Amino acid sequence: MVELPRINVLGVAISAIDMQQAVWCIESWVEQGTRSYVNVCTVHTVIECRRDPNLRRRVNAGGLATPDGMPLVWLGRMHGHPASRVYGPDLMLELCRRSAERGHRHFFYGSSPAVLDDLVSNLALRFPGLRIAGSHSPPLRPADAPEDPEVLERIDASGADIVWVGLGTPKQDLWIARHRPLLRAPVLIAVGAAFDFHAGRKAQAPAWMQKAGMEWLFRLAHEPRRLARRYLLYNPWFVVATALQVCGLKRYPIETDGTGSERGAKASSR
């Protein structure tokens, strides 16, 4: 398998790729039956990884850690990689669009039953012929709680090729790593707020704000109580920490537990 480049962002091996490469990699796993998982990574993901070594190892062990946040794209370009943003909601749309022609089956895990109903209905209308294997809304529980075996059996029985997991970071990232060995679906993808966006429950930032790296400001304005800590405390910490890393004043080794996938892009430190 071709190894895609990664960069070291505070000890997290972020894939320095674009949307086309991400889609190619995921579809190749599906076609070859290679079991792996994808973490759609933002600045929030990286900071949660710094706070939790177990989470960091799990993300580093995955097949892809896509640069969802623009700061991660900019860092990739600083390292000489022509990376572009692999935005989780756009990744979902592109894979669903192509799957309508290729016949790949999708399962949606997370959020509430109402959101899942709207998500499935909207995707089916947008992509005629899309094969939706099923969906499941889990109960609220700790991030390290094991899944009900009956739910895992249901996902397997659905014949899903791609399982989308929308539980929020870090819960969704831990879920896909923990349950990767237990599911037959080739690809598990932790995709964040894409469920709410495509269900029509939350508004997305305008394209110009996304390209300018200002999506966080749009989301903060819409959900100040939920997101204030994430953006007003974590973002400045990220800027300072990455500046120290770029200047060579602090080093962050890449750690992995090696259990994330049968195959995947090799993580390398720079």
Question: In the chain, what is the greatest distance between 2 CA atoms, to the nearest angstrom?
Answer: 53
Q: Answer whether residue 205 is part of any domain.
A: no
Can you point out the beta strands (E) in 6-161? 6-9, 12-15, 36-41, 64-67, 105-110, 131-136
Q: Answer whether residue 106 is part of any domain.
A: yes
- Which amino acid type is present at position 226? R
Q: Answer whether residue 240 is part of any domain.
A: no
Q: Answer whether residue 225 is part of any domain.
A: no
Q: Answer whether residue 259 is part of any domain.
A: no
Q: Answer whether residue 118 is part of any domain.
A: yes
pLDDT of residue 261: 43
For the chain, the first-to-last Cα distance in angstroms comes to 22
Q: Answer whether residue 18 is part of any domain.
A: yes
Q: Are strands 36-41 and 12-15 parallel, antiparallel or unpaired?
A: unpaired
pLDDT of residue 269: 39
Q: What pTM was estimated for this model as a whole?
A: 0.92
Where b means 16+ CB within 10 Å and e means fewer, 61-95 reads: bbbbbbbbbbbbbebbeebebebbbbbbbbbbbbb
Give bridge partners of residue 40 from the DSSP assignment. Answer: 66
pLDDT of residue 2: 59
pLDDT in tens, the chain (270 residues): 557 899 999 999 999 999 999 999 999 999 999 999 999 999 999 999 999 999 999 999 999 999 999 999 999 999 999 889 999 999 999 999 999 999 999 999 999 999 999 999 999 999 999 999 999 999 988 888 889 999 999 999 999 999 999 999 999 999 999 999 999 999 999 998 999 999 999 988 898 998 888 888 899 898 898 888 888 889 999 999 999 999 999 999 998 765 444 433 334 434
Contact yes or no for 212/25 (Cβ under 8 A): no
CA distance 4 to 83: 11
Count of domains in the chain?
Answer: 1
Q: Answer whether residue 185 is part of any domain.
A: yes
Segments forming the whole domain that contains residue 55: 9-198
pLDDT of residue 255: 85
